[in-house]
Structure 1
Amino acid sequence: MKKKTWIALGIISIVLVMISFSVYRQVLAKGPSVKTTEIKQEEISSLLMVPGTVQLQAEQIVYATPDKGELKELLVKEGQTIKKGTVLAKLQNPQLELEIEQNKIAIESANLKINQMDKKMKELKDKEKTLAEQIGKEEAKKQIAPEQEQLEMEKKLADLDLKQTSLQKNMISKRQAELEIKSTIDGVVLSAKKPDSSSEAGTMAEPIVHIGKLEGMTASGLLSEYDTLKVNSGQKVIIKSDAVQGQEWQGEIMKIAILPQQSQAGIQNGSQAVQYPVTVKISGDTKALKPGFQVIMEIETDKKSATVLPIDAVHDDGDKPYVFIVKNGKAQKQKVKTGITSGERIEILEGIGKGDQVIVNGPDNLKNGLEVTVK
Structure 2
Amino acid sequence: MKKKWMIGIVIGIVAIVGITVAINMAQPKQNISKEPKDDGIEYFTLPDVDQVYINGVVTPDQTEAFTMKENLDSNPEIKVNNGDVVEADTVLFTYEDKAVTKEMEEGNRGINKGYTQRGNAIVKRDRDLANVKAETATNPETGETVTSDTTAAKNDIRNAAQDTIDSIDQDIQSLNDQVVALAEKQYTSVTAKFKGRVSIPEVKEANAPVLRLTSEGFYIAGKVNEKDLSKIKLDQKADIKVVSNGNTATGKIAFIDDNPPDVSANDAEGGGMGGSTGMSSYLVKVSLDSLEGIKNGYHVQSTINLSNELVKIPTEAIHEDGDKKYVLVNDFGSVIRREVVLGEVEGKNTTVQSGLESADKIIVSSKKEVKEGDILENNDSTGEQGGGVESK
Short-chain TM bin:
0.3 to 0.5
- The TM-score normalised by the length of structure 1 is 0.46
Taking structure 2 as the reference length, the TM-score comes to: 0.45
Whose helix proportion is higher, 1 or 2? 1
